[in-house]
Amino acid sequence: MSLNAEILSIGTELLLGEIVNTNAQYLSQQLADLGISVYYQTVVGDNRQRLLKTFGEAFERSNIVITTGGLGSTGDDLTKETGAEFFGKKLVMDEDLLAELKAHFKRSSFEFTKNNEKQALMPEGAQFLKNDHGTAPGCCISENGKMLILLPGPPVEMIPMFENYALPILRDKSDIKFFSKRIKILGVGESKAEMILKDLIDSQTNPTIAPYAASGELAIRVTASAVDEAEADKIMQPIVDEISKRLGSNIFSFDDSSIEEAIVELLKQRGYTVSIAESCTGGLVTGRLVNCPGVSDVLKEASITYSNEAKEKRLGVKAETLEAHGAVSKETAIEMAVGVKNTSGTNVGLSITGVAGPGGGTEEKPVGLVYLGLCINDKTYVKELRYNGDRAKIRNRTVSAALDFLRRGLIDEL
């Protein structure tokens, strides 16, 4: 039986536009990886009638409905009650859960009030889903080929609950189990990657291959159907190898890790330290690297040298260079990279200088012109970029390009 799922996000704060529905994106991606089709995402408020009606519509179209939100202890929270009502189930007190909940409150020095008891109620016959990061448990009600999975709203609680407890249930429900790998690349556009892989994409049925663009990067999703993960790995490996051969050093991750993690790993492998000089990106490149725990082993410092004066004083960029070529030039980019490396005493220096706009552009040096400089030991590299778009877009693309440039320098592919 082919499986269709719908995602139903519950919460007035979503309808008022107070928060962005990142849960729907996360779950959609996870279901795509499982080979389960999603035709609808819906957001409704904490309202019993509308919720009941929406359950009815969703189960007419799909055999799986996954909800997020409305599992808390306040009167607003109705998802579990309404889910039970839809399936004609009573809510029964789970005494073990209640004891656990009380113990949790005792530890956290919050008072256990009567309405907290509600969280220990479970729809009759439902499968309990543990919340390792909060007090509201989830559950799964399964009947007549319909499955309702209730997850909490906060992503920090929802994501681990889905991964550890709901995902195995969904995988078991499929006659065929799907397993996916994401191969992440930077520096090749979506249409070019599709061209390079076209014959593979067209000819493959198991595994299937699909490129996905997301926030400046590109991921190739390889999905295999198999009886278990080991068999899936065996089916995927030849295709992963072939993609790897064709896309080569454009690939920075086979395990969904980030470009900044790849860079920190490469620096550690080589025993290198890095320093960064940023102008138009104003700290965003360094901010990305600092996302990685443990970055302090390899990142010594960064200078955000916005003024020419700072470029001279902090990095030793020559006044003549700034005079003759300007702050946004190949020459300045190289002197910034060499300068930050030398004054910081690192093996690697990376620099970024450009015109982010909206002001400051000239005919010769328009908004969107960016130079990247890189110095690794005694070798220097420079790259010119030309971008369209507004300030935010230019800066974001520059951040991706700078991280890509640094990674390619480290693997000697510049």
350-369: contacts with a second copy (CB under 8 A) = 357-360
Q: What are phi and psi of 251, to 5 degrees?
A: -80, 130
> Which of 268, 307, 384, 411 is the binder for a second copy (CB under 8 A)?
307
Residue 39 or 246: the one with the smaller Cβ distance to a second copy is 39
Give yes or no for residue 73 binding a second copy (CB under 8 A): no
Shortest distance, position 242 Cβ to a second copy, whole Å: 23
Give yes or no for residue 111 binding a second copy (CB under 8 A): no
Residue 272 makes CB contacts below 8 A (sequence gap 6+) with 298, 346, 347, 348, 376, 410
Residue 122 or 347: the one with the smaller Cβ distance to a second copy is 347
Shortest distance, position 14 Cβ to a second copy, whole Å: 7
Q: What are phi and psi of 208, to 5 degrees?
A: -95, 155
Tokens of 104: 């949790």
Cα separation, 230 vs 248, whole angstroms: 25
Cα separation, 338 vs 333, whole angstroms: 9
Residue 69 or 123: the one with the smaller Cβ distance to a second copy is 69
Give yes or no for residue 167 binding a second copy (CB under 8 A): no
Give yes or no for residue 293 binding a second copy (CB under 8 A): yes
Angle 277-281-286 (CA atoms, 0-180°, nearest 5)? 55
Question: Cα 224 to chain center, whole Å?
Answer: 22
> Which of 3, 10, 30, 262 is the binder for a second copy (CB under 8 A)?
30
Cα separation, 6 vs 59, whole angstroms: 9
Angle 251-26-223 (CA atoms, 0-180°, nearest 5)? 50
Give yes or no for residue 317 binding a second copy (CB under 8 A): no
DSSP 295: G
Residue 19 or 93: the one with the smaller Cβ distance to a second copy is 19
> C-alpha distances in angstroms, 75 versus 5, 71, 97, 218, 304?
28, 10, 20, 43, 50
Q: Are 46 and 14 a contacting pair, CB within 8 Å?
A: no
> Which of 97, 188, 200, 310 is the binder for a second copy (CB under 8 A)?
310
Q: What are phi and psi of 151, to 5 degrees?
A: -120, 155
Cα separation, 289 vs 92, whole angstroms: 49
Residue 28 or 400: the one with the smaller Cβ distance to a second copy is 28
Nearest to 61 by CA among 38, 32, 87: 38
> Which of 3, 24, 251, 401 is the binder for a second copy (CB under 8 A)?
24
| Stretch touching a second copy by CB under 8 A, among 31-39, 66-74, 123-131, 238-246 | 31-39
Give yes or no for residue 240 binding a second copy (CB under 8 A): no
The alpha carbons of the chain give a radius of gyration, in whole angstroms, of 26
Residue 181 makes CB contacts below 8 A (sequence gap 6+) with 221, 222, 236, 240, 254, 255
Give yes or no for residue 32 binding a second copy (CB under 8 A): yes
Going residue by residue from 41 to 70, which x/- string records binding to a second copy, judged by CB under 8 A? Answer: xxxxx-x--x------x-------------
> Which of 159, 200, 284, 414 is the binder for a second copy (CB under 8 A)?
284
How many residues form the binding site for a second copy (CB under 8 A)?
A: 75
Give yes or no for residue 88 binding a second copy (CB under 8 A): no
Give yes or no for residue 20 binding a second copy (CB under 8 A): yes
Question: Which residues inside 252-281 make contact with a second copy, applying CB under 8 A?
Answer: 276, 278, 280-281
Question: Which residues inside 168-227 make contact with a second copy, applying CB under 8 A?
Answer: 212-214
Give yes or no for residue 340 binding a second copy (CB under 8 A): no
Residue 45 or 366: the one with the smaller Cβ distance to a second copy is 45
Residue 190 or 241: the one with the smaller Cβ distance to a second copy is 190
